[in-house]
Amino acid sequence: MKKLHKLIGIGALALTLTACTTNPITGRSSLQLANNQEIAAMALQQYKETLSKAKVLKGTTAAKSVQNVGLRIKNAANNYYRSIGREADVASYQWEFNLIEDKSINAWAMPGGKVAVYTGILPITRTDTGLAVVMGHEISHALAGHGNERISQAMAAQYGGAILGGAISNGQMASIFQQVYPIGAQVALMKYGRSQELEADEMGLYLMAMAGYDPRQATPFWERMEAASNGQRPPEFLSTHPNPENRRADLDKNMPKALEYYKKSGGKL
């Protein structure tokens, strides 16, 4: 029995090493065991179901802004991945950017590139640059594979060594996906961990700068987000986010690099 446990432990270590993914923008490594195509297919199904029950705005000035900002950040990300020879990492993403009429202060992205912004957050974003802070953050969740990471954590916790032999069924995978992305949730569809939120902050800061949006506007945006709570329960968009002091410290730490990207994009310092 001890020998068996040892073999399982060795196998788990080998799996961890082979399934470890490094983010080329932030350098953070994460365990991603799940199949990205399967996750994207489940995400697409849920995204369609969510939109079918929502009022999706089309053709308005705000809706066009969501589209334009999303496309600019997506293109900047594609250009960056291409420049480092990792265009294959983003080839399978099928991006979609939609504005939903909902007073909730929220925005989210599904694995595979499906993004939604709620009208309730627009008074806080105020401008396309403020919107770029939000969308850069959410696009980063998708690009960094945070959905895969969360699902992998749940797989390891629930099934342990069973994942070594690929013993998890489609039904079990679907159940895990629904735990991470609960069907029918109107707000905060995605629940990420603090380390993932901090990475999305950093990566989003760089992506918005690459897309030509001034990253220095990120700090005022997050201050407005915090003020929106009025000392009460914070907006759902902030429910799993780091505290304001940690966020400000990280923004200050990452700003010089972000400004380098901004300058390269043609932005004025």
Tokens 């993004």 label which residue? 115
Q: 83: domain range?
A: 25-264
Model pLDDT, residue 7: 33
Query: Cα angle at 44 between 41 and 45, to 5 degrees?
Result: 90
Q: How many domains does the chain have?
A: 1
Q: Does 19 reside within a domain? A: no
Residue 3 lies in a domain: no
> Given this model, what pLDDT does residue 235 score?
61
Q: Would 4 be classed as within a structural domain?
A: no
* pLDDT tens, per residue, the chain with 269 residues: 343 334 334 344 444 444 688 999 999 999 888 888 988 998 898 899 889 999 999 999 999 999 999 999 999 999 999 999 999 999 999 999 999 999 989 899 999 999 999 999 999 999 999 999 999 999 999 999 998 898 888 777 766 545 544 556 677 777 777 777 765 544 344 567 788 989 999 999 999 999 999 999 999 999 998 888 775 555 656 655 667 788 889 999 999 999 999 999 999 88
3-state helix, strand, coil in the chain (%, to 5): 60, 10, 30
- How many H-runs (helices) and E-runs (strands) does the chain carry? 10, 6
What does the buried/exposed string (b/e) look like for 217-237 if buried means 16 or more CB atoms within 10 Å of the residue's CB? bbbebbeebbebeeeeebbbb
10 inside domain: no
Is 235 inside a domain boundary?
yes
User: What's the pLDDT at 228?
Assistant: 85
Whether 240 and 187 have beta carbons less than 8 Å apart is answered as no
Q: Could you tell me if residue 60 is inside a domain?
A: yes
Cα–Cα distance measured from residue 53 to residue 128, given in angstroms and rounded to the nearest whole number: 27
What's 128-177 look like in SS3?
HHHHHHHHHHHHHHHHCCHHHHHHHHHHHHHHHHHHHHCCCCHHHHHHHH
> Structure pTM?
0.85
Which residue is it, tokens 């300058």? Answer: 263
**Is the residue at 15 inside a domain?**
no
Alpha carbons 156 and 113: distance in angstroms, whole number: 25
pLDDT of residue 162: 52
Identify the helix (H) or strand (E) that includes residue 15: helix 2-18
Could you tell me how far CA 207 lies from the centroid of its own chain? 12
In a domain, 1, yes or no: no
CA distances from 97 to 9, 51, 141 (A): 42, 11, 14
